Amino acid sequence: MPDVDVRTYADLQAACDASSLNGTTVVVPTGVVIDSPQIFCDSRLTLRVDGRINRTDAGNTGAGGAMFRNRNTSLKTNDCHFFGKGSVGAKTSYTDPVTGHTRYDQTGIVFSNYGDRNVWTDIGIDKWDGGQAWAIRGDDLVIRRTSARGCAEATGNGGMRLIGGARFRAYSCDVWSGDDVYQPVPSPSTDHTITDAKFINCVGGSTDARFMVVGIQAGSGETLQPGTPMTCSVEDVEWRNCHGHGSIMGVVLQNFSSTGRIHNMRFTGCSVQSSRQYAGTNGARVLGQEFYTTALHPDGSVTGGVDGIHGDITWWNRQAATLMNPGGRGPVTGVDVALTERADPYWFPNLAPTQTPRAAFAA
């Protein structure tokens, strides 16, 4: 595709519209900073960011308020490619008067794209607040060699969330977020199943939540959800050579709301460090990490399950592993998790031995 400098158009939106229509590649050159409101994406958009894109309008929660979103959020936008050595994110920051933490002008979700064969390569997300870095769904999505840093240190600001679809792949990503980092977690509003997802050679951490999460939950908080259950499942998810930090828990598998199941989770050569042991009492535990097994609805019936958990995970500074089958919940089946304990609690591949995981958020 021919390259076209974004500055030849009236604004970034016009350039993106032309890319989808004409097959051109919109380029934000190195050293160029583009201030833009929310961008509407159509199929076949190709955007190369070697400079910087700042969001200038305030984002709202959900797909409709995202920095990059489908023009029509109910219709698929396919075959888009976002790449380059630059970054996208919030323009300005401020200090939270209560916590003292740095916050950013609301970006909302940064990338909220629904469609097939969309790809993100190398592009960075730097400074976001008010949603996840990615909240995406569709088939054959690929995210490779991307980084997400400078997230607001608060819940609600997650990393990479896959909402639904088949054959998702994340390769060599580096994501540090306030909320959950790598999360194949269906949305109750779409109730789409996730199958055959892989996270390979990925690192990162969370200031306020978990590192690797699989969850089906129609509501907030770790409680059983009343009302009409979801029906989706999460099946055949693999984490291979992934290393990270969870401030509350490292790994969570939980089904609170679906008649479907969480099945065949594989961990190979992964390592996790958590700041504190979780204080909850329900669920099957692996070194303090909750592996929730089933969802119970008000009638007391078992409506879902977690089974087929296998692989190996390295943990830091934990006591011996225990597996529990709590009363009132279904059994944990097919568990084959090899656990290794390390004595150096703050080691990560991308940090010096003397650094703590929090140091990576400022890197």
pLDDT tens digits, one per residue of 95-131:
888 877 778 877 889 999 999 999 999 999 999 888 9
Tell me which of 42, 77, 95 is where a domain ends.
95
Among residues 77, 95, 113, which one ends one of the domains? 95
Place of tokens 């833009």: 36
Q: Which of 73, 95, 117 is the last residue of a domain?
A: 95
Residues 193 and 323 occupy one common structural domain: yes
Q: Are residues 277 and 190 in the same domain?
A: yes
Residue 126 within any structural domain of the chain? no
Mean pLDDT within 157-172: 96
Q: Are residues 53 and 189 in the same domain?
A: no
Q: Are both 14 and 153 inside the same structural domain?
A: no
The DSSP element (H or E) to which 203 belongs, if any, is: strand 203-206
Do residues 43 and 138 share a domain? no
Give the pLDDT of residue 100. 78
Q: What would the DSSP string read from start to end of 228-264?
A: SPB---EEEEEEES-EEEESSEEEEEEESSBSSEEEE
Average pLDDT, stretch 333-352? 42
- Residue 143's DSSP bridge partners are 120, 170
80 lies in some domain: yes
Q: Which domain holds residue 7?
A: 1-95
**Per the domain annotation, does 61 fall within a domain?**
yes
Query: Using alpha carbons only, what angle is made at residue 296 by residues 293 and 301, rounded to the nearest 5 degrees?
Result: 115
Number of domains observed in the structure of the chain? 2
CB 340: neighbour CB atoms within 10 A? 10
CA distance 250 to 155: 15
**194 & 288 share domain:** yes
pLDDT at 220: 56
pLDDT mean across residues, the chain: 75
Residue 206 lies in a domain: yes
Quick check: is 101 in a domain? no
Structure tokens at 20: 């989808």
Looking at the domain assignment, is residue 260 inside a domain?
A: yes
**Any domain includes 110:** no
CB 181 within 8 A of CB 205: yes
Q: Do the beta carbons of residue 274 and residue 246 sit within 8 Å?
A: yes
Residue 145 shares a structural domain with residue 275: yes
- This prediction has a pTM of 0.81
Q: Is residue 139 located within the same domain as residue 78?
A: no
One domain for residues 29 and 91: yes
What is the enclosing helix (H) or strand (E) of 13?
helix 12-22
- Report if residue 123 sits inside a domain: no
45 shares a domain with 173? no
Same domain as 149, residue 73: no
Residue 80 and residue 208 in one domain = no
**Which distant-in-sequence residues (6+ apart) come within 8 Å of 20 by Cβ?**
41, 42, 43, 44, 45
